[in-house]
Chain A
Amino acid sequence: SAVISQKPSRDICQRGTSLTIQCQVDSQVTMMFWYRQQPGQSLTLIATANQGSEATYESGFVIDKFPISRPNLTFSTLTVSNMSPEDSSIYLCSVGRDEKLFFGSGTQLSVL
């Protein structure tokens, strides 16, 4: 298994500002994933973060809006930049092991 600590757990932000979400894993993992979960919607993969290389973004998500850092094998950050109310959502980090995904508890973001 994997224990994932994600913070902040929630935040309320003003339009035009940026928020950085941190994700810490209790063991080394090759790939970390960032998801967005909007109310009543499925989980949408934003990007895959590999240590030592640039993140791979899914269709509809760009690095300028969602820059990701992966400085080592146990840590990653996702920044939501220049926020608008449409960015209000839950953001989840996740790691894969043995074909299973383990998730952090999520960051509930509200943009006013």
Chain B
Amino acid sequence: GNSVTQMEGPVTLSEEAFLTINCTYTATGYPSLFWYVQYPGEGLQLLLKATKADDKGSNKGFEATYRKETTSFHLEKGSVQVSDSAVYFCALSDLSGGSYIPTFGRGTSLIVHP
């Protein structure tokens, strides 16, 4: 079956530090990959997505590249801000399985200090 593994948090950084949150996946087909973000007290929002190998998704300074050879989709940002403090979820959806309902990772909490 499909699964998503994320690095455990919390990840604690100072403002303007470089961020990497690791995500690897297992899928039987050719999935689309997503990062969702959940700010305190809010529901999840789609942050970025990539639908095929070597695609790079980007949004709000965040980037992630779909690496089929390493089955990874690591989230990166060059300079984090306090407002980036949130929980980040990696997810995949595999249409070849007949459903686009995503499989989510456990989430990684990011705390950015001023």
Contact = CB atoms under 8 A, between A and B. Distances in A.
Interface in A96-112: 96, 99-106
Interface residues of A, number: 20
A45 B2 CA distance: 14
A105 B32 contact: no
A100 B46 contact: yes
Contacts, number: 45
Interface of B: 4, 32, 34, 36, 41-46, 49, 51, 89, 93, 95, 100-102, 104-107
B23 to A, nearest CB: 12
Contacts of B105: 42
A6 B42 CA distance: 11
A104 B38 CA distance: 11
B95 A101 contact: no
Contacts of A104: 43
Nearest to A103: B43
Nearest to B109: A40
A91 to B, nearest CB: 11
Nearest to B39: A105
Chain B CB within 10 Å, residue with most, of A40, A43, A103, A106: A43
Interface in A34-86: 40-43, 45, 48
Contacts of A100: 34, 46, 49
A92 interface: yes
B106 A101 contact: no
A21 interface: no
A103 B41 CA distance: 12
Nearest to A104: B43
Nearest to A48: B101
Nearest to A93: B43
A103 B93 CA distance: 16
Chain B CB within 10 Å, residue with most, of A6, A33, A105: A105
B101 A42 contact: no
Given A6-B43, A33-B101, A106-B43, A43 B93 contact: no
